[in-house]
């Protein structure tokens, strides 16, 4: 690993000042499970690494706010998977956080870091998109809230500025009661990156939201407000046809080693239909099908 | 404000119960410092991307891949390595059951397996087989000794229960 200067500010303002002073030569360190790999392989070569873990304003708390939840920037996957309120009200996020990496990775990896790293295969991204998550970002000019759907651009690239720091992720209270599920396809059981990662949420108004990743440069959110997908009595063939339309933007990379584009697209449709069924079963207590 | 590039960082860390004050390089990982500065070579360096678990240690009781933690980040923490599982010449219970079931073949992954298992049993003293499989999913064994490793962890849990 190339040498760098290690900074460990204790105030958010000091961290923002370091970013302002060093520009692209500075990198932020939270859990490090992505950053340290890239420092070691030389794909990034910052002069300054700013450790965020002692900043008073950045916490690992998950707390209720405006009827929803606010997840602090230092909360790790283990915290999120185990939080009773997330398990109850945002179950697909708990399910996704529980399959990120291994236990060792989940004990370090932060949700905020998963967003900032902007991997197309990030397992938490589809659930956060489905729940309409907002990213709270601090900069020298102040704090702003950005809908997550406006953050992702492509692998490793977001719309957040280089001198901004994510301080929290907010999950709004769902407009209608509903149920959701996260599913994914990997090459092997245990620790692996997803070839398809997908979340489906169905609510009592008949709205179905699906988000999927690992099928193009960024995770994508789609919705069906016709009530067809959420209808327990609608035939699978009709739902499959609807999914075909909804998934039209899927464009898996032919260069990825994990799975061929054809396989990913085929599995996207299989998992999509399966996830719709599971979300409906959860919503109706399994009685409707 | 910014110190010299690559300048040393002073850290205070408790390793296997012993308080240490060390000067570390910012770009050295906890794994580097454990092995090269402290001579604790039980912790293994292998994939260096957080996939194999051979470098697993506990930081404040939580299992981590020490290849993905900077030594500077460990300042103020308590680190437990495989060397800390034994008491003097007496092996820990997990180490004993690993030996008895033949869980250690080439042995390279075993320190990481032991630490992951130690973390699992600390939070879940009576794990099911599925709990053990999940608890060790971040630790690869190239000899394919998974059955014996799982058996060893379950045996250690049973023995702990019987002794208490």
C-beta atoms of B73 and A29 within 8 A: yes
A165 membership: H or E segment, kind and range: strand A165-171
Helix orientation angle between B110-123 and B93-101, rounded to the nearest 10 degrees = 130
Q: Which residues of B touch A21 (CB under 8 A)?
A: 1-2
Arithmetic mean of pLDDT, B121-138: 96
Mutate to test the interface with B, among A102, A106, A113 (most CBs of B within 10 A): A102
What fold is seen in the domain B93-163? DNA polymerase; domain 1 (1.10.150)
C-beta atoms of A107 and B63 within 8 A: yes
* Per-domain boundaries in chain B: 9-84, 93-163
The full DSSP string for A109-155 is -BHHHHHHHT-TT-THHHHHHHTT-EEEEEETTEEEEEEGGGTEEET
What fold is seen in the domain B9-84? Ubiquitin-like (UB roll) (3.10.20)
Taking 50 as the threshold, does the pLDDT of residue B102 lie above it? yes
Q: Which residues of A touch B3 (CB under 8 A)?
A: 5
Helix, strand, or coil (residue B153): helix
Nearest to residue A288, comparing CAs of A204, A199, A213? A204
Instruction: Tell me the pLDDT of chain A (289 aa) as tens digits.
Output: 999 999 999 999 999 999 999 999 999 999 999 999 999 999 999 999 999 999 999 999 999 999 999 999 999 999 999 999 999 999 999 999 999 999 999 999 999 999 999 999 999 999 999 999 999 999 999 999 999 999 999 999 999 999 999 999 999 999 999 999 999 998 877 678 889 999 999 999 999 999 999 999 999 999 999 999 999 999 999 999 999 999 999 999 888 888 999 999 999 999 999 999 999 999 999 665 4
- Judge contact between B103 and B62, C-beta under 8 A: no
* Per-domain boundaries in chain A: 5-50, 62-171, 182-284
CATH code for the structural domain at A182-284:
3.30.390.50
Its ipTM equals 0.95
The CATH architecture of the domain made up of A62-171 is 2-Layer Sandwich (3.30)
pLDDT range class, residue B4, cuts 50, 70, 90: low
Strand order in the sheet with A142-147: A62-65, A68-72, A165-171, A134-139, A142-147
Nearest to residue A181, comparing CAs of A93, A92, A99, A284? A92
Does CATH number 3.40.50 belong to domain A5-50?
no
Q: What pairing do the DSSP bridges indicate for beta strands B9-15 and B78-80?
A: parallel
A167 membership: H or E segment, kind and range: strand A165-171
Taking 70 as the threshold, does the pLDDT of residue B2 lie above it? no
Nearest to residue A205, comparing CAs of A182, A170, A177? A177
pLDDT at B1: 44
- Judge contact between B16 and B83, C-beta under 8 A: yes
Looking from the CA of B116 toward its CB, the CA atoms found within 13 Å total: 32
Nearest to B27 among A4, A18, A53 (CB): A4
Neighbours of B35 (CB within 10 A): 19
Q: Which residues of B touch A37 (CB under 8 A)?
A: 48-50, 68
């Amino acid at each position: 690993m190339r040498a760098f200067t290690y900074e460990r500010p204790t105030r958010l303002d000091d961290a923002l000042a370091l970013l302002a002073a060093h520009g692209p030569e500075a990198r932020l360190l939270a859990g490090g499970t992505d950053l340290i790999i890239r420092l070691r392989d030389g794909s990034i070569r910052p002069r300054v690494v700013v450790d965020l873990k002692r900043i008073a304003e950045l916490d690992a708390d998950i707390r209720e706010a405006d009827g929803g939840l606010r997840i602090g920037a230092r909360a790790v996957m283990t915290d999120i998977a185990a939080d009773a309120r997330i398990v109850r009200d945002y179950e697909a996020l708990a399910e996704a956080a529980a399959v990120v990496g291994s236990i060792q990775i989940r004990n370090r990896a932060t949700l905020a870091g998963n967003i900032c790293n902007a991997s197309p295969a990030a397992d938490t991204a589809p659930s956060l998109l489905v729940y309409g998550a907002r990213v709270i970002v601090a900069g020298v000019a102040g704090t702003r809230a950005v809908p997550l759907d406006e953050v992702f651009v492509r692998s490793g690239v977001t719309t957040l500025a280089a001198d901004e720091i994510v301080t929290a992720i907010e999950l709004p209270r769902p407009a209608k009661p509903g149920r959701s599920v996260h599913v994914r396809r990997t090459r092997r059981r245990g620790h692996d990156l997803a070839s398809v990662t997908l979340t489906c949420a169905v609510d009592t108004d008949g709205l179905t939201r699906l988000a999927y990743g690992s099928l193009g440069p960024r995770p994508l959110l789609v919705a069906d407000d016709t009530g067809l997908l959420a209808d327990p009595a609608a035939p699978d063939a009709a739902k499959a046809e609807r999914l075909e339309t909804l998934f039209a933007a899927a464009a898996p990379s032919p260069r990825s080693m994990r799975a061929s584009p054809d396989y990913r697209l085929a599995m996207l449709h299989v998992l999509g239909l399966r996830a719709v069924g599971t979300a409906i079963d959860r919503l109706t207590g399994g009685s409707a099908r | 404000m910014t110190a010299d590039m690559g300048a040393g960082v002073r850290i205070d860390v408790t390793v296997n119960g012993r308080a240490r004050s060390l000067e570390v390089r910012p770009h050295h990982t906890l794994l580097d410092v454990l092995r090269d500065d402290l001579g604790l070579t039980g912790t293994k360096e292998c994939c260096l991307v957080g996939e194999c678990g051979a470098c697993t240690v506990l930081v404040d009781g939580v299992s981590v891949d020490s290849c993905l933690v900077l030594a500077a980040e460990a300042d103020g923490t308590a680190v437990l390595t495989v060397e800390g599982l034994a008491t003097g010449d007496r092996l820990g219970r997990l180490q004993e059951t690993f030996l008895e079931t033949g869980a250690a073949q080439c042995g390279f992954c075993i320190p990481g397996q032991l630490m992951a298992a130690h973390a699992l049993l600390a939070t879940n003293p009576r794990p099911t087989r599925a709990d053990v499989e999940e608890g060790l999913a971040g630790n690869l064994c190239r000899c394919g000794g998974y059955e014996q490793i799982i058996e060893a962890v379950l045996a250690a849990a049973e023995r702990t229960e019987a002794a208490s």
